[in-house]
Amino acid sequence: MQIDVTGQHLDVTPALRDYITGKLERLERHFDKVTNVHAVLSVEKLRQKAEATINVNGTSLHANAEDGDMYAAIDALVDKLDRQIKKHKEKITNHHRSEGSLKKIPLAEE
């Protein structure tokens, strides 16, 4: 999984980069087909904002979170992405396990 971390109006320190990378790598425990993650960390006055876009098996999932503390914003972001990945995985497995659109009619015994 490739993780890109960029900052807007913010210098991404090695500690911050390690923190978000560690959190985002945990997303692979639910769904192993995560190919690319692009995270953007930004600061607007007193708001710390974290956004991320994940490419999962041909589908893009996006989430953003705001907080007064950057680490809290990253935690909220990862929680949102975790829920989205679980929902996406359930959607895929439920669609592939369906019986089909035609109902099976039992044969009449003679």
Query: According to the model, what pLDDT value does residue 74 have?
Result: 94
Query: According to the model, what pLDDT value does residue 103 have?
Result: 60
Domain 2-92 belongs in CATH node 3.30.160.100: yes
Query: According to the model, what pLDDT value does residue 104 have?
Result: 63
In this prediction the pTM is 0.79
Each of the 110 residues of the chain gets a pLDDT tens digit; together they read 889 999 999 899 999 999 999 998 888 887 777 888 999 999 998 899 999 999 988 889 999 999 999 999 999 999 999 999 889 888 888 876 656 555 666 676 76
Torsion of CA 73, 24, 29, 86, to 10 degrees: 50
